[in-house]
Amino acid sequence: MKSAAVPIPVEAALRAVTLDAAWQCRSDDITGSIEVGTFADLVLLEDDPRTVDPSTISTIAVSETRLAGQTRYSR
pLDDT of 68: 82
**pLDDT tens for each residue of the chain, 75 residues long:** 676 777 899 999 999 999 999 999 999 999 998 889 888 788 999 999 999 998 999 999 999 999 888 999 999
Q: What angle do CA 47, 64, 62 make, to 5 degrees?
A: 40
Find out whether 71 and 65 touch, Cβ atoms under 8 Å: yes
pLDDT at 2: 72
**pLDDT recorded at residue 6:** 77
Question: pLDDT value at position 7?
Answer: 83
